[in-house]
Chains A and B, each alone.
Chain A
Amino acid sequence: MSKIFPKSANRLPLQIIIFLIVLLGVVTTATNYYATPKYTRVGYAPVQPVPYSHALHVDKLGLDCRYCHSNVEKSGVANLPTAQTCMNCHSQVRTDSPLLAPVRAAYQSGEPINWVRIHQVPDYVYFNHSVHVNRGVSCVSCHGQINQMEVVAHAKSLSMGFCLDCHRNPQANVRPLDQVTNLNWNADQVKIDGKPHAEWAAEFVKNNKIKPPQSCTGCHR
């Protein structure tokens, strides 16, 4: 009587187990790589109704972030500017530019411009802008070098790990309050009150009692 299974079948169970382990490793790696805001959100640069360039307005003209996002120090929300804010200058500058037609229309009619939102934490996350900028956390820490962007792109992941990195070690991301909207400020190149940044930041955190919440309810409230 001939054998039903060849001799090599003896190794098959082990080979299947090894394959399943490899498969598990590949699936884990892929999930880890793709199922995170580092992949899903970073790089998001939607086409806006008006091709507003932060590089031009902030870096070249020197406008402060707060000229347009005027409530960021008072409110949890960094507001988009009103059409009138644009028209403060564009009632005189580039008055016939076709690119600015939506702005003029919005100013005339009072209907808002439908800007596409880029940075957005999920609805189950509480985030307050004012408490961050009033404690020396710069715009650049979460939004990247907006001042160099022709088209705004999502630069940082804004994942939970991203938030916690800073909440566990706020010293690394605080700066003097008058430099919060200076996106080119570099902690390594300046001395603050004659001290290197690390030393200054440790005192700043202590003196201002900066204790970022690390408990779940700090943000998931």
Chain B
Amino acid sequence: MRYAYFTLAFLVVLTVSVLGFRGSTFTRPPMMVFPDTFFPEMNHQAKYKPQASSTFFADGRADRPLPAGVVSRNPLRDDDHLYRGKTANGQWAKGFPAAVAVDARLIARGRERYTIYCAPCHGALGDGKGIVTQYNWGAPANFHSDVFRSMPEGQIFDTITNGAKTMFSYGDKLVPEDRWAVIAYVRALQRAQNARVNDVEANHKQELGIK
């Protein structure tokens, strides 16, 4: 009987030394509690998931690129101002499109999106001193220069959509409505950096120590 217990103790030590403890770091693919061999079509089912791989397509991707000449099923984007930042005669549109209501909600949304996608380069203040400038980036645009203060909203929209100079397109990250929200926030930043005493409402002057 003693030998049975010795054998059991040996097996416990063997198991622990082979399998180790919970939580240790490892690089090999995780073990399956229900291996695919014995439980086929359970953990890994014959379906494609986003950004997954495929053995069927030559390029190995489950996500398929759009075929040439494909037509979007989404509603037609015929509002040039809203979707391209241009007026009917092809000029950069000034001001915001009619479909976008410029209100506090839009600016708050713009602030959030700006902080995520724009601030790393252009800085929280829009002065072009984002974190990338500490890594030999060069000079991201400073929105408080005259060029950008006088730039039509439509041209800023186009820059976000298609990029400009060293800036790449952010069209995949910001939908058109978000791009207008960001523009509204950039306009707010520009105004904040060039504010005059008269811009402060009377009831807030005392808080700021202005007479």
Binding site for B on A (CB under 8 A): 12, 15-16, 19, 22-23, 26, 30, 33-47, 61-64, 66-67, 70, 75, 77, 79-80, 82, 84-85, 87-89, 91-94, 111-112, 114, 122-124, 153-154, 178
A–B pairs, 11, beta carbons within 8 Å: A19-B5, A23-B8, A40-B30, A40-B33, A41-B30, A42-B22, A43-B22, A45-B27, A47-B27, A67-B173, A92-B132
Question: Do residues A26 and B116 form an inter-chain contact, with CB atoms below 8 A?
Answer: no
Question: Do residues A70 and B50 form an inter-chain contact, with CB atoms below 8 A?
Answer: no
**Least Cβ distance of B147 to chain A in Å?**
21
> What class of interface size applies to chain B in its complex with A?
35 or more
Kindly specify which of B94-102, B154-162, B164-172, B199-207 makes contact with the partner chain.
Answer: B164-172
Q: Give the CA-CA distance A45 to B29 in the complex, in Å.
A: 9
Write out the residue numbers on chain A whose beta carbons fall within 8 Å of the beta carbon of B29: 44, 46
Q: What total count of A-B pairs have CB within 8 Å?
A: 111
**Least Cβ distance of B33 to chain A in Å?**
5
Q: Is the interface of B mostly helix, strand, loop or mixed?
A: loop
Question: Do residues B22 and A38 form an inter-chain contact, with CB atoms below 8 A?
Answer: yes
Question: Do residues A36 and B26 form an inter-chain contact, with CB atoms below 8 A?
Answer: no
Binding site for A on B (CB under 8 A): 1, 4-5, 8, 12, 15, 19, 22-27, 29-33, 42-45, 47, 49-51, 53, 59-61, 112, 115-117, 120-121, 131-132, 135-138, 166-169, 172-173
Question: Do residues B172 and A40 form an inter-chain contact, with CB atoms below 8 A?
Answer: no
Contacts A79-B51, A122-B42; A92 near B136 (Cβ below 8 A): yes
Q: Per a CB cutoff under 8 Å, which of B8, B135, B172 touches A26?
A: B8
Most buried by A among B1, B30, B120, B172: B30
